Amino acid sequence: MTFRICALCAFVLTTACATSRPAAPPIAKRVPHSVTVHGDTREDEYAWLRNRSDPDVLAYLEAETAYAKSFMRAEAGLQERLYQELLGRIQQTSASVPYRKGDHLYYSRTEEGRPYAIHCRKRVEPEGPEEVLLDLNALAEGHRFFRIKAFAVSDDGNLLAYSVDTSGGRDYTLYLKDLRTGALLPEHREHVDDVAWAADNRTLLYATEDAAKRSHRVWRHELGAKEDTLVYEDADEHFNVYVWRSRSGEYLFIKSRGRDTGEVRVLPAGEPRSVPRVILPREEGHQYSVDHRGGLFYIRTNSGAPHFRLVATPVDATGRENWTELLPHRESVMLEDVQLFARHLVISEREGGLQVFTVMDLTTGQRHRITFPEAFYEVELDRNEQWNTSRLRLRYESPVTPASTFDYDMTTRERVLLQQQQVPGYEPSRYTTERLFVMAADGARIPVSLVYRKGLRRDGSAPMYLKGYGAYGSTPSLGFFSNDVSMLERGIVVATAHVRGGGDLGETWHDAGRLHRKMNTFTDFISVAEALIARGYTSKERLAIWGGSAGGLLVGTVLNLRPDLFRVALLHFPFVDVLNTMLDPSLALTVPEYEEWGNPTKPEDYAVIKQYCPYTNVKAQPYPAVMVMAALNDSQVMYWQPAKWVARLRAMKTDTRPLLLHMDLDAGHSGPSDRYAFLREVAFTFAFVFTELGLEQ
């Protein structure tokens, strides 16, 4: 039996006005639809939700969101208090540390009450007044969503190439601005990803996407031209293309990258019309990246080195026979990146799950490691636009130390604190961090990072917020989140499980949690939760879990496997309809991600994905309280994934705990672009978690 959801939506809204909690949640219609693959027939009764043009679809999503808002209306006071807390911890009027590029210092700043940043610069010599390059507040007027991606200034400082998305769907339009006059140039381009200026200050290389959101072509645009020249196209749908310029400024690089295989082309930045040449032809399983200095290319390669090694080769002789090894492969160290300067090489590595930087003096060959004071932390290179310098710009933070920007002298080893994030009312001495390891079922040691208020009693009484991701070789952030202070101040232990599938312990850690070994990701997370409970950090009744995107897949799977282990779950843009998604090659990201999840057109891959897919494995059993945040314009996890999962979960679960779906009709995969709207969303989700954990408000 079917019905018009709009009538239900009206029912939900009127009921919400009469009571503190709505009387009944929306119920999605069930439309018989079966899928048969490899002789296996599965029901997909909510497949109709994929049809965005069906008015019942939008009505259902609106009804779910109205129900979530009406359900949370009882916590309106808590939401407002939380919003004021969160807002009170940010410096609404602030400016970033300027970085030098050419004759100018570039920075961005924010103003109280305005939701977006303002990008500016000042001339260095002679010192000049502030020039506003882009006021995103003005550009965002009339748009419910606004985000900038590319921001590239030509060498002479006269032209700015920038790209913006106004849909939330990661669909960026490229614009060119004359910074001498402030006028936009007439040319603009659609569906743009990376951009890079050539050395002639009038030629721009840029990459564009196809209908499946795959970056597949690189174009050359010459100032004033109506038509652009195709420089390179990768027809292999497993690959995306990227374009950038070397830090030396002498070369432009074009990379084709799949999950396991890569290929780099190069052309002189001073000769942008030249034909790109291949540095190393693609070979299955060979991934490499390239940078330049002097007469050498520096190649980070996994050839014979799962955790990568570094070699150098003459720019005109890049075959393996010409390689000179600079850094050998090491079993316990992942070589993640290298950055070249005129006299120094900065090596970014991951060891024991932590980011470490080593500086090599290319004149003397001497090396030293940059040390950091805390047990675990997040550190990254900031904007380093100058080539001939001994100063390295770093950004350092930890769960208890706000983001701090340093200049580090690579010769004298001195560091100067330039700026630390201001967090009004925050006292770092009130909190502590801890790193421990949990034994997985197969004997693997899973790192766990904890932060909590000092004086924690390990008697199981403390609430906990456990986060996880575990995919793509990505490493969860160990940085500072001012919003988390609202949890810490309420006695919540904030924990991160560094499960397999991530890159915490190198590429072998990633390999141990993908493809046919993907179940390790989920059993690792369960092992961590069980261990933290057994060690008295929390209890089942006090444990909240969170995951976003592929982390939402993690949470959705463990909820099916062990719903008894958790009290409440929060999911953002969750990848929960994995099997149907990976069976549809027309969708964005599907084909390139076969190397992460498997290709279910192969029977053995189909069986593995079916084993853990959250939507496929929803059961008639009790589940924890669940809140799902999603977005209609999400181009990475399509809106119907969380919508279908919630619909099936609501129909099958046997408990009466709340299940809420909030669908943002204006945003994309990363949520609201307006910083104030984002804080409102955080307050909304925190209020749900705090209430379900029974915290005193």
Is the pLDDT higher at 2 or at 445? 445
From 104-118, 147-161, 456-470, 586-600, the region with the lowest mean pLDDT: 586-600
**In this structure, what DSSP letter does residue 194 have?**
E
Confidence of residue 697 (pLDDT cuts 50, 70, 90): low
Tokens at residue 32, please?
A: 């018989």
Cβ atoms 57, 49 nearer than 8 A: yes
Q: What's 186's domain CATH number?
A: 2.130.10.120
CB 116 within 8 A of CB 133: no
Report the percentage of the chain scoring pLDDT > 70: 97
pLDDT tens per residue, range 498-546: 999 999 999 999 999 999 999 999 999 999 999 999 999 999 999 999 9
Q: Which single residue is written with the structure tokens 């400024």?
A: 249
* Helices 675-692 & 76-88 angle (0-180, nearest 10): 130
Nearest CA to 465 out of 520, 532, 412, 531 is that of: 532
Q: Which residues contact 552 (CB under 8 A, 6 or more apart)?
A: 571, 572, 573, 574, 575, 576, 637, 642
**Structure confidence at residue 17 (pLDDT):** 38
Residue 559 resides in a domain: yes
Longest dimension (CA), the chain: 78
Residue 556 in 3-state DSSP?
helix
Band of the pLDDT at 126, cuts 50, 70, 90? Answer: confident
Task: Name, in order, each residue with C-beta under 8 angstroms of 149's C-beta and a sequence gap of 6 or more.
Answer: 162, 163, 164, 165, 172, 193
Residue whose pair of structure tokens reads 């195709």 in the numeric block: 230
Distance CA 550, CA 576 (A): 8
Backbone angles phi, psi at 71, to 5 degrees: -60, -40
**Residues 311, 363 within the same domain:** no
516 and 471 in a common domain: yes
Q: Is residue 321 domain-shared with residue 381, that is, in the same domain?
A: no
List pLDDT tens digits, range 320-341.
999 999 999 999 899 999 999 9
pLDDT of 19 above 60: no
Q: Which of 422, 452, 477 is the last residue of a domain?
A: 422
Q: Which of 230, 317, 239, 243 shows the shortest CA–CA distance to 273?
A: 230
Q: Could you read off the pLDDT of 265-297 as tens digits, one per residue?
A: 999 999 999 999 999 999 999 999 999 999 999
Nearest to 251 by CA among 189, 294, 215, 303: 294
Q: What is the dihedral of CA 436, 483, 165, 222, to 10 degrees?
A: -70
Confidence of residue 233 (pLDDT cuts 50, 70, 90): very high
Tokens of residue 681, six digits: 């969303």
Residues 545 and 566: beta-carbon distance below 8 Å: yes
- Output the domain CATH number for residue 460: 3.40.50.1820
| Among 123, 120, 122, residue whose Cα is nearest residue 133 | 120
pLDDT confidence of residue 342: 97
Indicate if 512 and 580 belong to the same structural domain: yes
| 69: in domain | no
Give domain status of residue 57, yes or no.
no
**CB contact set of 13 (below 8 Å; sequence gap of 6+):** 66, 70
Categorize the per-residue pLDDT at 69 as very low, low, confident or very high, splitting at 50, 70 and 90. very high
Could you give the angle at the alpha carbon of 468 between the alpha carbons of 465 and 472, nearest 5°? 165
Confidence of residue 670 (pLDDT cuts 50, 70, 90): confident
The three-point CA angle 114-115-120 to 5° equals 75
**For helices 5-18 and 55-71, angle between their N-to-C axes, nearest 10 degrees:** 10
Mean pLDDT, range 599-625, rounded to an integer: 98
Residue after which a domain boundary falls, among 288, 309, 330: 330
Q: What is the mean pLDDT of the chain?
A: 94
The secondary structure of 144-171, three-state, reads CCCEEEEEEECCCCCEEEEEEECCCCCC
Q: Are residues 307 and 339 in the same domain?
A: no
Considering the domain boundaries, does residue 480 fall inside one?
Answer: yes
**How far apart are alpha carbons 405 and 97 in whole angstroms?**
8
Q: How far is 15 from 69, CA to CA, in rounded Å?
A: 12
DSSP 46: T
Long-range pairs of 105-112 with CB within 8 A, sequence gap ≥ 24? 106/153, 106/383, 110/675
Residue tagged 């949890």 (tokens): 487
CB under 8 Å to 141, separation ≥6 — which residues?
Answer: none
Tens digit of each residue's pLDDT (9 = 90 or more) over 586-603:
887 899 899 999 999 999
Angle between the 55-71 and 640-652 helix axes, to the nearest 10 degrees? 70
Enumerate the active-site residues.
Answer: 549, 634, 669
Q: Read off the tokens for 252.
A: 């432009």
CA nearest 258: which of 559, 472, 11, 421? Answer: 472
Q: How confident is the model at residue 20 (pLDDT cuts 50, 70, 90)?
A: low
Q: Are 355 and 240 within one domain?
A: no
Residue 83 resides in a domain: no
**Cβ-based neighbour number of residue 681 at 10 Å:** 19
**Is the per-residue pLDDT at 186 higher than 50?**
yes
Note whether residue 243 is domain-resident: yes
User: What pLDDT does residue 646 have?
Assistant: 98
Whole-number Å distance between alpha carbons of 102 and 99: 10
- Token pair belonging to 607: 């069986």
Neighbours of 393 (CB within 10 A): 20
Residues 239, 316 within the same domain: yes
CB atoms within 10 A of CB 233: 13
Number of structural domains in the chain: 3
Q: Find how far residue 603's CA is from the centre of its chain.
A: 31
**pLDDT at 589 (0 to 100):** 81
Would the pLDDT of 13 be above 60? no
- Based on the fold, state whether residues 322 and 362 are members of the same structural domain: no
Do residue 319 and residue 338 come from a single domain? no
Q: Is the pLDDT of residue 79 over 90?
A: yes
Q: Does one domain contain both 563 and 685?
A: yes
Interval 653-682 mean pLDDT: 94
- Report which residue type is found at 76: A
Q: Three-state SS string across 576-601, please?
A: CCHHHHHCCCCCCCCHHHHHHHCCCC
Residues 518 and 681: their CA atoms lie apart, in Å, by: 31
**Which helix (H) or strand (E) covers residue 625, if one does?**
strand 625-631
Whether residue 53 is contained in a domain is answered as no
Asked if residue 474 is part of any domain, the answer here is yes
Q: Tell me the residue range of the domain where 181 lies.
A: 143-330
338 alpha-carbon distance from chain centroid: 21
Together in a domain, 654 and 506: yes
Residue 295 sits in the same domain as residue 351:
no
**Beta strand residue intervals within 284-375, DSSP E:** 288-293, 296-301, 309-314, 324-327, 333-340, 344-351, 354-361, 367-370
Higher pLDDT, 528 or 353: 528
Rounded to whole angstroms, how far apart are CA atoms 366 and 372?
20
DSSP string, 366-403: -EEEEP-SSSS-EEEE-----SS-SEEEEEEE-SSS--
Q: Which of 295, 330, 365 is the endpoint of a domain? A: 330
Closest by Cα among 243, 132, 128, 140 to 193: 243
Sheet arrangement for strand 404-409: 378-381, 391-397, 404-409, 415-420
